[in-house]
Amino acid sequence: MNMTLKPAFGLSGSALKVIAMISMVIDHIALYLMEHGTVLYEAMRCIGRIAFPVFAFLIAEGFIHTRSRYRYFFTLLGFAVISEIPWYMLNGADGTHNVMFTLALGVATLMVLENLLQRSMVLGFLWTLGMAGLASWLGVDYEWRGILVIVFFYLFNGFEHSLPYSRGMQFFCTFTLMMHYGVIGAVMACMILYLYNRKRGFVQGGIAKYGFYAFYPVHFILFIQICNRSFS
């Protein structure tokens, strides 16, 4: 019996993408353009914590439904490489790398994990831990927590029709991992994801899809221009 909790109304995958992008922009406005430590700064950073759990959720959904997982991975990896230049210009050589690398590593983790789980849960567990460790060693955004969130979204999505309250388990794992970056942001992200109605929404076709990917490096370039004008 499917005991998954369902909201009275919902948000499509496209709506989730827009919400995540807006949250990300608000976060980066605070991070790069505002005085740190103010009440407004902290409030905007809280809103910004919505973005990654939503992106991670969409990555897991995309992995399940994509026609080509290899193309999915290399698309994310390609935009990660492109985004690294403006990321470096904004953050300097601080040893970190942009979140697109985290998402690409998440997809790579799922590609192998799916096959390993058919043979051994232990192997799947060890593989996941290894990839989480790799994410931390590489210094990608959200490090090992980012990989685990993507994995939990994938695992409990697959069990939705057989495991009671699987969606609740997704949110519990997400909150537990993401509260490190802010409790309020983690709660808001879970509330938004609860409203997902499993519909694709208005973002359809290659141009719209790749436009969302391209927004990530483009918005960094815009921040670079704004910062250059502000300090010139």
Does any domain span residue 3?
Answer: no
Q: Which amino acid is at 88?
A: Y
Does any domain span residue 218?
Answer: yes
CA nearest 6: which of 196, 157, 186, 156? 196
Angle at 60 between CA 121 and CA 194, to 5 degrees: 110
Does any domain span residue 8?
Answer: no
User: pLDDT tens, position by position, for the chain (232 residues)?
Assistant: 444 455 556 899 999 999 999 999 999 999 999 999 999 999 999 999 999 999 999 999 999 999 999 999 999 999 999 999 999 999 988 999 999 999 999 999 999 999 999 999 999 999 999 999 999 999 999 999 999 999 999 998 855 555 556 778 888 999 999 999 999 999 999 999 999 988 887 767 677 778 999 999 999 999 999 988 876 6
Q: Which two tokens stand for residue 122?
A: 């232990």
Does any domain span residue 145?
Answer: yes
Does any domain span residue 42?
Answer: yes
For 27, the domain range is 13-231
Does any domain span residue 27?
Answer: yes
- Exposed (0-12), middle (13-18) or buried (19+): which is 67, by Cβ within 10 Å? exposed
Does any domain span residue 4?
Answer: no
Number of domains into which the chain is organized: 1
Angle at 68 between CA 215 and CA 25, to 5 degrees: 15
Does any domain span residue 5?
Answer: no
